Chain A
Amino acid sequence: MGSFIKGRGERRMVLDSKISEKRKRQCTKLIEISKEIVRQAFDKFKPEELSITWTGGKDSGLTLWIIRQVCQEKGIPLPKTMIIGEGDEFEEIEQFVERIKKEWNVPLEVCRNEDVLKVANYQLNAPVRVKDLNERNRAELSRIGFDEDEFPFEAESYVGNHLMKTVVFNEFLERNKIKGIFQGLRWDEHPARFHDGYFEYKEASELTPEHTRIRPILHFTEKDLWDTYAVFQIPYCVLYERGYRSLGAKTTSLISIEGIPAWRQDLENTEERVGRRQDKEKAMKEMRRLGYM
């Protein structure tokens, strides 16, 4: 599908005749629905109360592009954007983020759990001793029920996820007094997401200040997303060309099919996140048959 303009860290797909007029209309409609959500958010909240989460990946990238469109229409700057530096990043993503930040003038704040990074000496798998962490981090570990004296520094482990992402996210909200935050979640990513709404209000708790999460692209499937990138020539990170479908921490993200760009893989019939065991279907069938449960 198309040829590629070479550039470091970013690619633009040339609009290709394979995307039919009908499909272009469909993608345009999906974008319109998203833009309407974004406009509603700007009606509900003041610009300084809003913020955008960005990962450098395809979902938050599309969300950022849509919000930028709306901001250009309204003649206002992009809201403060945050990216989480979990400590295990792909260089390609860092490069892509740097370029887009400059090109789109994104007011970007890179957020990190500096305390954990320092104690881990910025080294993956280094042991982190709980008593060396600050009070906030220790309280967070206690909240999730973590009960050892130390843990290895990994971005995608349960503990890593909580301290390097969840805690950082909530601290960002607190520090910037954010009332509404945009996220690039989609319904078809995960069964737990199926009932998510475009606007989800979160009450204040010890973990998080009161805020509303806004998900403008919930209704996009993985295929919708890539077709939209093609229709509107939205830039994306080169890793997707190499076969990644889902991008997280460098160590734990797996290529789905080597050498086949994400949009050419079987998006409708295979899982976005690799590593799911194939024999789950058979085991589920057997479980369903068991009468007594």
Chain B
Amino acid sequence: MNEIISPGGKRGIPGNLELPLCVERLSNGNTLITDGGDEAGFGSEVIEVDPIGNRVWQFDDQRRLKFAHSSRRMSNGNTLITDTTNNRLLEVTPDKKIVVNSDDWGRGTGKLSDESHLHYPNEAYELEDDTFLITDRNNDRCLVVNRQGKVIWSFGQNELHHPHHANPLPNGNILVSDSDGNRILEVNRKKEIVWSYGDGSTEVLWWPRSAIRLPNGNTLITDTKNHRLLEVTPGGKVVWKFQTEHVDTFYLTHATPQGTFLTSSVDGHHQVIEIDRTCNYVWTFRNYRRPFPVYAGLMNGFFKTREERGEPECWTFATRLSEGGGKLLWDEQNKPRPSPGIELDRDGALFLQQAIAMQPGGVYRVGAEIKTEDVQGSACLQIDFFDAYGGSLFQDITKTPMGELFTGSNPWTSDSFEVRVPVKATYGELRLFLHNKGRAFIKNVMLGKI
């Protein structure tokens, strides 16, 4: 009889750091960390920790923050937060009062003066003239607005593709990561690109999500999908590098006054690390308890039981990457019993998954039946493997062992594939994966060692 081999914890515990994104070293010596929350959408918060890891401040808007990406301490002592999946900007006082909420703009519609709405904001800085510089990812732009949402300046110009972390430079220019374009741009107020790094190829930069200007004039780039940090000169020469062997998608780097670099380990080891120029870990902050259990073997592959919330028992509906959408469905017409499905109405990703203990080095066969309806991207069965700290062992999703890629509409189809478990794996995560619009259903999941 299968059982839980490793229990999970409760979801949404304040202070449990699931997905550190933005990090900032404050002038008081503390560190401000933005937590995006777990894979099922719980636990996004902003925490401030002191040098020995005590939590001295926390904010989650009564559990309403959803995949918040950034928080910055302002000159007035308030904190500026991008509540990303909720598509809003918040300015919060130390006693947790919200004094600016972009939902109030445009007479409560949340619209800016140009009639647009923030769409996936991932960064916001206060500027000297009391305005905000916001990186508006899905609108492919960064913009400057006042506290009432009046657009004063914006830059996109078809040069930005899903940008991150636009930040102001002392010379008045703006440094922004053109993430999907694999490059960094420095833009002046006249919207001219005055410097750039990256030729679009993934070898030079792969989905960079942050660039900051250092006091020495060089630029420190967080080269996310290459799991490294790079320091490049104005002439484009790489003069320093921090590269991890394990796969980790660092989000953003902050340079401390001591000359160290603070960065957040996102899909890797759920921690904040501070490294020096020898690449030694000067300080780390990790406060993670894995919320989901790992089962000794595949459970409920025939979907006979459901949780109260409607999810199949022992399976997790992971919505973090669904861009605010995503629904769990049941095909009630299926015989002999309903089968679960996932539906997405926008360009994002959805998973129905289960963590299972699998023997490192062992070879397994996994099988299921899959049905799809109007899938514009693709749907498939896949298994990801994770190391001891909870980091995926694969560079990107296309390297994850997977079965057939289903597109469009397909009737119930059997699919199975073999997989060899990497020696460093501590568990496998078996998933039904769907991206970019459509519906995918699953039934009769089986897993066996061969």
Contacts and interface: CB of A to CB of B under 8 A. Distances in A.
Contacts of A143: 448
A162 B450 CA distance: 9
A207 interface: yes
Interface stretch (A40-48, A52-60, A144-152): A144-152
A145 B445 contact: yes
Nearest to A143: B448
Interface in A160-216: 161-162, 166, 190-192, 195, 205, 207
Contacts of B416: 158, 161
B417 A290 contact: no
B420 A283 contact: no
Contact of B449 (A205, A284, A286, A291): A205
Chain A interface residue number, banded: 20 to 34
Given A143-B448, A146-B446, A195-B420, A291 B180 contact: yes
Interface string B407-450: 10000001011111000000000000001100000001111111
Given A293-B321, A293-B349, A293-B396, A192 B404 contact: no
Interface string A252-293: 000000000000000000000000110110011011111111
Contacts of A280: 404-405
Contacts of B110: none
B398 to A, nearest CB: 5
B341 interface: no
Contact of B435 (A144, A191, A195, A290): A290
Nearest to A284: B398
A166 B448 contact: yes
Contacts of A287: 377-378, 396-398, 435
A271 to B, nearest CB: 12
A157 B414 contact: yes
B297 interface: yes
A284 B404 CA distance: 11
A67 to B, nearest CB: 23
A291 B225 contact: yes
Given A190-B418, A293-B321, A279 B405 contact: yes
Interface centre among A166, A190, A292 (most CB of B within 10 A): A292
Interface string B385-398: 00000000000111
Interface in B188-202: none
Contacts of B396: 287-288, 293
Contacts of A157: 414
A284 B397 CA distance: 9
Interface stretch (B141-149, B150-158, B257-265, B298-306): B298-306
A143 B365 CA distance: 12
Contacts of A286: 377-378, 436
B162 interface: yes
A147 B336 contact: no
Nearest to A148: B302
B79 interface: no
A188 to B, nearest CB: 14
B59 interface: no
A93 interface: no
Given A158-B367, A284-B398, A289-B180, A277 B297 contact: no
B207 A192 contact: no
A283 B405 contact: yes
A283 B372 CA distance: 15
B357 interface: no
A292 B401 contact: no
A195 B436 CA distance: 33
B44 interface: no
A203 to B, nearest CB: 9
Given A291-B180, A293-B321, A162 B405 contact: no
Given A286-B378, A292-B321, A192 B363 contact: yes
Given A148-B302, A283-B378, A288 B398 contact: yes
Contact of A277 (B321, B404, B414, B447): B404
B222 interface: no
A152 to B, nearest CB: 11
A276 B299 CA distance: 29
Nearest to B436: A286
Nearest to A292: B321
A285 B406 CA distance: 14
Nearest to A275: B404
B179 interface: yes
Nearest to A206: B449
A192 B2 CA distance: 26
A120 interface: no
Contacts of B446: 144-146, 158-159, 162
A192 B398 contact: no
Contacts of B448: 143-145, 162, 166
A162 B447 CA distance: 10
Contact of A145 (B406, B417, B447): B447
Contacts of B406: 277
Given A279-B407, A283-B378, A192 B336 contact: no
A287 B2 CA distance: 34
A291 B179 contact: yes
A66 to B, nearest CB: 24
Contact of B417 (A147, A192, A207): A192
Nearest to B376: A286
A263 to B, nearest CB: 26
Nearest to A291: B207
A147 B301 contact: yes
A158 B414 contact: yes
A197 to B, nearest CB: 11
B162 A291 contact: yes
10 contacts: A144-B446, A144-B448, A145-B445, A145-B446, A148-B336, A277-B407, A284-B405, A287-B377, A287-B378, A290-B397
Nearest 7 interchain pairs by C-beta: A158-B367, A147-B302, A144-B448, A192-B418, A291-B207, A283-B378, A293-B397
Given A145-B445, A158-B414, A283-B407, 10 more contacts: A144-B448, A145-B298, A146-B302, A147-B302, A192-B419, A277-B404, A280-B405, A283-B378, A287-B397, A293-B435
Interface of A: 143-148, 157-159, 161-162, 166, 190-192, 195, 205, 207, 276-277, 279-280, 283-284, 286-293
Interface of B: 2, 162, 179-180, 207, 224-225, 297-299, 301-302, 304, 321, 336, 349, 363, 365, 367, 377-378, 396-398, 401, 404-407, 414, 416-420, 435-436, 444-450
